[in-house]
Amino acid sequence: MIKEELLQSVLNKMGSHSSIKSAVLRIESGDDKFSWVGATGEMKEEDYFFIASVTKLFVTAVVMGLIEEGRIRLDDLISNHLPEKYWESIHVFKGVDYSPELKVLHLISNTSGLPDYFFHKQDNGRTVADELMEGKDEPWDLERTIDLVKNLRPKFKPGKKGKAAYSDTNYQLLGKVIENITGKPIAEVFQERIFSKLNIDNTYVYSDVKDQRPVPFYFKERKLLLPNYMTSIAVEGGIVSTTEDLMTFLKAFFKGHFFPKENIEDLKKWNLLLPPPGIFYFGVGLEKLYTPRITSPAKPIKEVLGFWGQTGSFAFYNPQTDLFFCGTTNQINGKGHQYAGSAMAKIIKTIL
């Protein structure tokens, strides 16, 4: 189906940048007739790694499942599911308090306008990301996030047409909504609704600061060890996995294991997002790669759907070729995403 030489070439390219210390790539076809995995640099094919914001695709699976059970609706106000302390005065835009108007849909589609606690510049010109990238390892739970965000200016009114801005704040709130609906911690929700059902035993929520199973990730040349932070962000980016397990989940997601397959179309309400964290389209709990036609003018790449993770992790599906991709470059500075995106595009173009 795909030549081994091509796959090894794109993998080598992924790991060729000086700041990318390792990379792993797994590719499989939807009919299970083709499977390939390779690793380069410090990583081995079977290694555990932080999937970072690819975790949010697991959140989408949970939310869509709860919708099927009639336990939540996208149009629900978050005030219906959260105590007032979590949403009161969190969204005051141009003197108007829009906090009571925030909906589940706004959170999962990044259309709330709420500032991103991670990348939003504070009065001192710095961000939480700046401090973490310098190795300042601190936990960021929901309460701390809310305290910070209440002192930041929202981007826009909730649900304003054509407006979207990536915000991990949205997912911290969404995680609390899920916990209140299910009556269980998010780690237990993931375990019961996804990990156990798929028998992906090498996938778990990072919860022990002494756990050294995941390979370390990098910011440029700096190896980052942030166990206190990673144990505090279960719902927005705290899952650890392997490419084998992540591929199992990715296929289950797009094949209708968690909710009717046709409902994927309901998630494709795209808004183009710009850095930070990067250029891509965001829908309802789903991302689409930004693939300008110039990258493949004769045979345009129509859709590459899935999720990026800040650590250089990725999980995507291309319906045109029925190919699934997942892996990581373990590099936060953006080069990893660039090289992984180019690798996927090159493989897809070869098949089209």
Q: Is 104 helix (H, G, I), strand (E, B) or coil?
A: helix
* Confidence category of residue 112, pLDDT binned at 50, 70, 90: very high
* pLDDT higher than threshold 90 for residue 225: yes
Question: Residue 76, exposed/middle/buried by CB under 10 A (0-12, 13-18, 19+)?
Answer: middle
What angle is formed at CA 339 by the lines to CA 334 and CA 342, rounded to 5 degrees? Answer: 125
Note the pLDDT of residue 309.
Answer: 97
Query: Is pLDDT at 18 greater than 90 in this prediction?
Result: no
Chain segment 83-93, per-residue pLDDT in tens: 999 999 999 99
Q: What average pLDDT does this structure show over 53-81?
A: 98
Distance CA 174, CA 78 (A): 8
Q: Which residue in 64, 67, 71, 65 sits closest to 180, CA to CA?
A: 71
Q: Do 132 and 237 touch, CB atoms closer than 8 A?
A: no
Q: Has residue 148 got a pLDDT over 80? A: yes
Residue bearing tokens 């600061």 = 209
Q: Residue 295 above 80 pLDDT? A: no
**Helical spans, DSSP H, in 95-206:** 104-108, 128-133, 142-149, 168-182, 186-190, 196-198
17 pLDDT band, cuts 50/70/90, is: confident
The pLDDT of residue 16 is 86
Closest CA relative to residue 51, chosen from 209, 206, 212, 177:
206
| Sign of torsion over alpha carbons 118, 122, 127, 128 | negative
> What is the domain range of residue 181?
4-351
Task: Answer yes or no: is pLDDT of 293 > 90.
Answer: no
Q: Is the per-residue pLDDT at 275 higher than 80?
A: yes
Confidence of residue 329 (pLDDT cuts 50, 70, 90): very high
> What is the identity of the amino acid at 8?
Q
pLDDT mean over 314-326:
97
Encoded tokens for 297: 């003018």
Does the pLDDT value for residue 63 go beyond 90?
Answer: yes
Tokens of 101: 């108007």
Residues in a beta bridge with 77: 103
Q: What is the CATH number of the domain that holds 47?
A: 3.40.710.10
Q: What are the percentages of helix, strand and coil residues in the chain, rounded to 5?
A: 40, 15, 45
- Whether the pLDDT of residue 296 is over 80: the answer is no
Burial class of residue 271 (count of CB atoms within 10 Å of its CB; 0-12, 13-18, 19+): middle
Overall domain count for the chain: 1
Q: In residues, how long is the chain?
A: 352
Query: Is residue 129's pLDDT more than 90?
Result: yes
Question: 255's torsion region: left (phi>0), alpha (psi -120 to 50) or beta?
Answer: alpha
Per-residue pLDDT, 123: 85
Asked if 62 and 178 touch (Cβ cutoff 8 Å), the reply is yes
Q: Are 52 and 313 in contact (CB under 8 A)?
A: yes
Q: Is pLDDT at 101 greater than 80 in this prediction? A: yes
What six digits make up the tokens of 229?
């932070």
